[in-house]
Amino acid sequence: MKHKLLTILFLLLSMPMMAQFDINHYLREGYADLNKSNYTSAINRFNTIIQVKPEMLEPYYFRGFCKYRLDDYQGAYLDFQRVIELNPYFADGYRMRGVIKALQQDYQDAMEDFAKALELDPANANIYTSRSYTYMSMKNYDLAIADVNEALKINKDEASSYFLRGYAKMSINDYDGAIDDFTKGIKLNAYKPGGYAQRALAYCEKEEYKLAIADMDHAIELDPQDPTYYFNRAIIRYKSNDLKGTMEDYNKVLELNPDNALTFYNRAILNTEIGKTGEAVADYSKVIELSPRNILPYFNRGAVKFEAGDYYGAIEDWSQAIEIFPDFAKAYQARSSARYQIGDYAGAKADERTAKQKIEEYVKRTDGDSLMADFADTSYNFRKVIEFDSDFYRANMDDGEVQNRRVVIDLKPLILLTAKLPGDDSLITVYLQSLEQLNSKSPTGFGLAFADHQADIPVDTVRFLLNQTEQAKLQSGFDCGLYFHQGMLNSVVHNYNQSIKSYSSAISIDPKFELAYLNRAATRYLMIEYINSLDDIAPIVSIGGDNGARRPEVKQEVQTDYSEVIEDLDVAIQLNPQLGIAYYDRGNVKCMSKDFAGAINDYTRSLEVGPELPQAYYNRGLVLIYLKDKEKGCYDIGKAGEMGIEDAYVVLKKYCK
């Protein structure tokens, strides 16, 4: 893929439209970032080119590729769509749009794009491999293999094509053929750990465990920070009865990936098998914490408790499993056994009847559905080690795939005026006459700027500056700007009450001072949040839950009175209807008050008035996803990512695929 992109880059840079040196420089620097997997940095460079030359094809193509690698499929689709609009004869534009469509399971349209790409460039091996991946997703492995064969006719020395064909052969249980292809790929690229890891899995299927472990050892040697290699080696070791080695590998996975529910689940099963009941219960409890809507950890933890004689604990866990999935026949049977143990014979018999009824219903409805059959079959063992894929990430992310980082997904904070300190590159540039006037006579030696955080000023410095402003007040009398600066300084050190008094004094001197209302609102909000934090009250819109979750969760149950905050922002907006930041802040507060429709309106108005805040797109996107308007919400999140909010790619990966 990289050498193909280099070829495209060379061809594009050779075009006459690329004569300007500065644009060439930005494009090369952006591609250099892309090649290092610094995708968000690359996007920023391509954004700059698009602002200068919006009709240039190249930055859209490369920006689309970056978004694709960051799992922003909607944003990538729009960029590749623009590429095709700018040049309908550019084959790779159709190829990449087809890739995005395939990832969104729009296979028919994807195939049409691949066909068009091949019509324009029949000697492009990447088109065949991209279509092969799509056939793999459709489980049409024969056609996937046929396309790789065509790609290898064009370029017989491409290692990734052999790896792809090997994976396709594994999918049809041709393990010898897969091993042969993986071996050919490894000969062409002996430093790609994935080739060894894939061959290890093929050896494992043939029960050639020594060869499998040797290959996985090699993959780990090449990339010791990838937790998936340790996880898969644990599976191989388990199958070869090396339980100690299995445990060591699970522990290593959790060292690299501390919130991996699947590994906790498998380790719990292993702890049960080797008689470590307490450790097994602890691991299942961690799985429940990370994935509270998954029935299996409740079911298995109940079994561990039952075997330990904790029948009431077992009943509680199996009841929870039944609450999540009321048709779970085996859970009724298990609970029936526990109820017999505590003498609840009526409850036990009722559970037996329910289980029998559920099984009879399953027999009628399964129609070959293996999952349904598993839940119906009371002999099915949910305590065997699970091998399906999980959401792994690297603990020490040294690349640009920020969508795999662990972050707290929450609303971006309010924006307020704070001290403009050297080196703070996250300040928001806004021109306001009232702000210019404030900065023209600053008593502290530094200006003010908008930011979504307080300036980091040492407490001793704040005290010195407060004394300085007091002296200035004695000399100049009643000056609303001095009171404003005192309000800002007190807020920095969390002296919120005094800060509010200072802003109120500024407002009493100048009732039309919209920035004082804005900052007083922000300070009142911060004071409320600080008080709430003492009671450990979580923010209202916070996306959480397990990997299968598809909407944010509302965590806060206690109603907080934000009326004074809203009133201040209302006045600020009345005094200056073009103060876009006030709309953004009010949107946040309305969101905290559960007025989600009002919040969306305010975020929208903020973006209309300006400045175009990425925080407004991000927060509006979260609210829209919460309200189940996924298409619009994911577009907003993608836009926020494009504008520099890296957390957006975590949201896109989790909620927008």
Burial 175-186 (b: 16+ CB within 10 A, else e): bebbbbbbebbb
pLDDT at 350 over 90: yes
Here the tokens at position 613 are 């805040």
pLDDT at 635 over 50: yes
For range 427-445, the mean pLDDT: 85
pLDDT at 113 over 80: yes
* Amino acid sitting at position 162: Y
pLDDT at 506 over 80: yes
DSSP-H helix ranges across 14-124: 21-35, 39-52, 57-69, 73-86, 91-103, 107-120
Percent of the chain with pLDDT over 70: 85
Rg, Å, the chain Cα set: 30
- Are residues 472 and 535 in contact, defined by beta-carbon separation less than 8 angstroms? no
Mean pLDDT of the chain: 86
For residue 595, give the 3-state DSSP assignment: coil
- Integer Cα distance of 149 and 131 in angstroms: 12
Query: Which CATH class, in words, describes the domain spanning 272-376?
Result: mainly alpha
* Residue 428, strand partner residues: 450
- Integer Cα distance of 353 and 345 in angstroms: 12
* The pLDDT of residue 393: 56
DSSP string, 197-236: HHHHHHHHHTT-HHHHHHHHHHHHHH-TT-HHHHHHHHHH
CA 235 to chain centre: 27
DSSP string, 355-404: HHHHHHHHHHH-TT-HHHHHHH-TT--TTSPP-S------SS--SS-GGG
Give 160's pLDDT tier (boundaries 50, 70, 90): very high
What are the Cα distances from residue 130, in Å, to 99, 110, 147, 165?
A: 7, 10, 9, 12
258 preceded by cis ω (within 30°)? no
Q: In which residue ranges of the chain is CATH 1.25.40.10 found?
A: 272-376, 410-655
Q: How far apart are the first and last CA of the chain?
A: 23
- Are residues 575 and 545 in contact, defined by beta-carbon separation less than 8 angstroms? no
* Amino acid sitting at position 634: C
Q: Which residue has the higher pLDDT, 365 or 633?
A: 633
CA 112 to chain centre: 30
Q: Which residue has the higher pLDDT, 451 or 543?
A: 451
Backbone angles phi, psi at 461, to 5 degrees: -65, -40
Give 553's pLDDT tier (boundaries 50, 70, 90): very low
What is the per-residue pLDDT across 359-375, written as a single tens digit (0 to 9) for each?
887 666 555 544 445 55
For residue 588, give the 3-state DSSP assignment: helix
Residue 552 region by backbone torsions, left for phi larger than 0, else alpha for psi between -120 and 50, else beta: beta
What is the per-residue pLDDT across 29-59, written as a single tens digit (0 to 9) for each?
988 988 888 898 899 889 989 988 899 999 9
For range 416-422, the mean pLDDT: 90
* The pLDDT of residue 537: 35
pLDDT at 301 over 90: yes
CATH entry 1.25.40.10 includes domain 410-655? yes
- Long-range contacts: 627-633, Cβ < 8 Å, 24+? 627/596, 628/551, 630/550, 630/655, 630/656, 631/74
DSSP designation for 428: B
Tell me which residue of 586, 443, 618, 591 sits closest to 522, measured CA to CA: 586
pLDDT at 552 over 80: no
Backbone angles phi, psi at 206, to 5 degrees: -85, 5
H/E element holding 416? strand 416-419
What is the per-residue pLDDT across 592-620, written as a single tens digit (0 to 9) for each?
888 999 999 999 999 999 899 999 999 99
Here the tokens at position 261 are 């529910």
